Structure formats: C-alpha cells, structure tokens
Amino acid sequence: MQDTLNILFVGDVVGKPGMEVLRHLLPGLLLKFRIDFCLVNGENVDGGKGISPKLFEEMRTLGVDVVTGGNHSLYRDKILPVMEESPSLLRPFNYPSGTPGYGSGVFDLKLRDRVAVLNLQGRAFMPLTDCPFQTGREEMKRLSTYTKTVLVDFHAEATAEKMAFARYVDGLCSAVIGTHTHVQTADEMILPGGTAYMTDVGMTGAHSGVIGLDTENAIHRFLYVRHGKQATLAKEDLRLSAVLLEIETQTGRTLRIERLQLSP
C-alpha cells in the first residue's frame, strides 16, 4: 500500500466546451500531479443536460476512474442501461430504491490500494430525495469497512447544507466536495477530524455565459420563465475547475487540499 494517494476531483463538465477543455488538460494533469485516482462530475456533459454512453466512454479513455452525477444524471434514456452495468458511473445515492444505477462504489487501485466514492444530492432548492445526511452517513460507515479513503461528491445548491453535512461526517470520510452551482468557491479547508471540504469545485467548460449557458438564453429564462428557442451553451473563456487532495491511506485523513482553475 502507498502511504498517500493523490486524488484529482474535476467539477461539472458542461457540454462540448467542457469536453474540449477536459481533452486538452486532463492527461497532462494526471501525469504532472501523479494522480492515483481521478473523479469527474459528468451530469451536464451531453449538451448541458445528462450524459451519453459515448461521452462516458470517452471520459474513461481520458483517464477518469469514476464519473459522478447529480440532478441531471438520468436525463438521457440511453444512459440508463449503462448506469445499471457500470459501477464507475454513479448517480446520487439517496434516490428512491428502484432508481437505475449505483450511488457509491469501492474501486481497486494498484498496490492493493482502494478508494470508495459516494455521490449524494442535497434537498434545499433541489428535487425531493431521501435524506442525504442519514443515508449518506450510514453508507459511508459501510464503505469505510473496505477502505479508509472515502470521497464524497455532495451535489447541492445551498452552501449551508453542504457545510453542515461535512461537519456532520467529519472524521468518517476523507473529503466532502460540493458540485452543482458551477461556481468555484475559495473555502477549501481540512476540518478537525481530517475531512477535507470545499463548498463547490466549480465548472469545467465555458465561463463567458451564466453557469455554462449562453448569456442571452440565461437572461431569457429569468425574464420569461422558460428557455429561449433553444437552450444553447456559452462558448468562450474555457476553464477546468478541480481540486487536488493528498490522502493518508492508513487513516483516510486528507493532508493537503489545493484548488485549481486552469485554461487550455
């Protein structure tokens, strides 16, 4: 077993611009930071909503170990059979039983190391789901019987919900990293019990519009309740948003957390 693991967590990849920046930057980052395990949130990769089997495969080919999701994970019908078959494509764990797919997994690495990933969805200003706090904590305890390195993608709108959850599970997992708002926060920290926390890792895609949508379309949505003729994505100012974690394998504690935002 290695003493420490280097983890790269990349935030919501949005549409074609997001894939373009991922293709450009990810392989180099995996080498530069000697990444042992990479997870990417892919709930918006297919035109801004959902994920296709082809794009999931491409992410895996680029070196992504696990693709996590959120409220858009189940948007495309074609992905449902893949979700049933592929433990490395996760949707939030706290969906009602009977929902296709997996919400958590344990993954074997080289040298007998293992990493567990748990995907959760918040309930404040989000569609109704089971309680992420209670179900999440129980699942985390189960996962930690396989490995001390347990990573959480907490997909939620409200800062306080994400922060409260991280403090609730401090010491039971290695990191609680937020996704969904598409805006990177500058609050990365390691809590007293050794759990790393960051409210939102941010978006991978075009930053020239409004959280990935093109400006005109986003304004239209607020003025008239619905999207314009076609929900189009922003195209300029490409950036990859991510966080780097160094985790002690014996204890599962995070030793170092570093926020990244890079342009091709």
**Best CA proximity match to 153, nearest among 129, 177, 169:** 177
Question: Of 37, 48, 68, 71, which lies in the binding site for Fe ion, with binding defined by CB under 5 A?
Answer: 71
Q: Check: CB of residue 69 under 8 Å from CB of residue 119.
A: yes
CB under 5 A: which stretch of 28-36, 64-72, 84-92, 222-230 binds Fe ion?
64-72
CB of 203 to Fe ion, least distance (A): 7
**Best CA proximity match to 65, nearest among 34, 89, 42:** 89
Catalytic residue among 24, 72, 180, 220: 72
Asked whether position 200 contacts Fe ion by CB under 5 A, the answer is: no
Q: How many helices (H) and strands (E) does the chain have?
A: 6, 12
Query: Residues for the chain: how many in total?
Result: 264
Residues 7-26 binding Fe ion (CB under 5 A) are: 12
Q: Quick one: 71 or 94, whose CB is closer to Fe ion?
A: 71
Question: Of 7, 22, 38, 44, which lies in the binding site for Fe ion, with binding defined by CB under 5 A?
Answer: 44
Asked whether position 180 contacts Fe ion by CB under 5 A, the answer is: yes
Cα–Cα distance, 198 to 257 (Å, whole number): 9
Q: Quick one: 9 or 191, whose CB is closer to Fe ion?
A: 9
Cα–Cα distance, 81 to 61 (Å, whole number): 19
CB under 5 A: which stretch of 1-9, 38-46, 186-194, 252-260 binds Fe ion?
38-46
155 catalytic per annotation: no
Cα–Cα distance, 230 to 77 (Å, whole number): 20
Binding stretches for Fe ion (CB under 5 A): 12, 44, 70-71, 180
Which of the residues are catalytic?
Answer: 72
